[in-house]
Amino acid sequence: MVTYPLVVDLVFRALADPTRRALLDALFARDGQSVQALCALVPEMTRFGVMKHLEILEGANLVTTRREGRTKLHFLNPVPIQQVADRWIGKYAQPFTRALVDLQTDLEHRTA
């Protein structure tokens, strides 16, 4: 059994949670946000929950931070995502697969 490098594992685990993906999306839309600002985007959860998710993202190196006075700013680092895309996903996302996707999409839209 092939065991993938730590970075692949950390990133996949980090991306497994929808809240964490949403946080990355938020930083993609607007980089360098504070904890507060990010909390506002996930009103169904307390600040503590959001902070834990941010920790995990930081642990996977998907987010970097910088303190600015009493606030902490969060920045997106897409490099690990790209690496996982290269090292693992790329194997499955090939031209042939793309053709399959198009075919399946086509079939799904034929309501006949």
Site for DNA, rule CB under 7 A: 13, 16-17, 19, 34-36, 44-49, 51-53, 56, 67, 69-72
- Tokens for 102, please give them: 């198009």
Nearer to DNA, 48 or 92 (CB): 48
Which residues in this chain contact its own copies in the complex, by CB under 8 A? 1-4, 9, 12-13, 15-16, 18-19, 21-22, 24-26, 28, 41-42, 44, 78-79, 81-86, 88-89, 91-94, 97-98, 100-101, 104
How far apart (Å, rounded) are the C-alpha atoms in residues 93 and 101? 10
Lookup result for tokens 């987010």? 63
- Tokens for 1, please give them: 């059994």
Lookup result for tokens 């198009």? 102
